[in-house]
Amino acid sequence: MSGLVYWLDMAGVIVFALSGVVLACRKRMDPVGMLVLAAVTGIGGGTLRDLVLGVRPVFWVNDPTYLWVIFATVALALTGFHYIHRLSRGFMPVADAFGLAIFTALGTHKALELGYAGSVATLMGMMTGVAGGMIRDVLAQRVPMVLREEIYATAAFAGGVVYVLLYAIGAPLVLTIGASLAATLSLRLAAIYWQLSLPVFAWVRIRPKPVDDGKEAVQKAKERVRMIRRARKRR
């Protein structure tokens, strides 16, 4: 693994681990809970990726530095607990977006370097980016963002596709990673800032239309599947 990829991977672990710490603080967890959320967020996605790709042992077993980085992140967070707890609620989505972008690019890179097809690499990039956050949210009893209407997995998919395309034409590593990061970040941050979301589909009950005399016709209410868009909050 080149120096660039390695240090980006470490940066992603720190950012994701910190987002786990922030969520643990808001859920009033003890230091063990903070460590668990930080660990599953920081290395959970990469662990699942390596297990699916058959990489043995997984990356953090070969290089325990990842574990020490997580321990250090939690320790520093405990030292500055007062400041961590008061972080704006806008911090975690932005930090999470950076972690998502980094892990998506590096997960895609690893799968391609192992010789897997572009479609598989894109999926592995998405898994690396979203799986850790999913485990974190489930442990914190929160619906994962990837299962809501948030533009989250979509942003990871876009970043993975950009990486695969540039890799296929032999673009330099720095350009390939940078373009992938930009694609994922631009989509995710735009979705956060402008409150963009994907439409959801739900069963809705349609009341019968009233007749001329103002009374409702004697009919059963109909149920239909309708596309519903999330209303934007005023800033």
pLDDT in tens, 3-51: 889 999 999 999 999 989 988 988 989 999 999 999 999 999 999 999 9
Eight-class DSSP state of 204 = E
Local confidence band at 145 (pLDDT 50, 70, 90 cut-offs): confident
CA distances to 128, 155, 195 from 175, in Å = 20, 18, 29
| Residue ranges of domains in the chain | 3-194
pLDDT in tens, 117-131: 999 999 999 999 999
The candidate with the shortest Cα–Cα distance to 93, out of 154, 19, 36, is: 19
Phi, psi of 212 (to 5 degrees): -60, -35
Instruction: Identify whether the C-beta of residue 105 lies closer than 8 Å to the C-beta of residue 163.
Output: yes
The count of C-alpha atoms lying within 13 angstroms of the C-alpha of 53, restricted to the half-sphere facing its C-beta, is 30
pLDDT of 54 reads: 96
Residues in Cβ contact with 31 at an 8 Å cutoff, skipping those fewer than 6 apart: 74, 78
Per-residue pLDDT averaged across 211-226, rounded?
57
Residues in Cβ contact with 218 at an 8 Å cutoff, skipping those fewer than 6 apart: 208
pLDDT, mean over the chain = 87
Per-residue pLDDT averaged across 43-67, rounded?
96
Eight-class DSSP state of 147 = G
CA dist., res. 17 & res. 170, Å (int)? 33
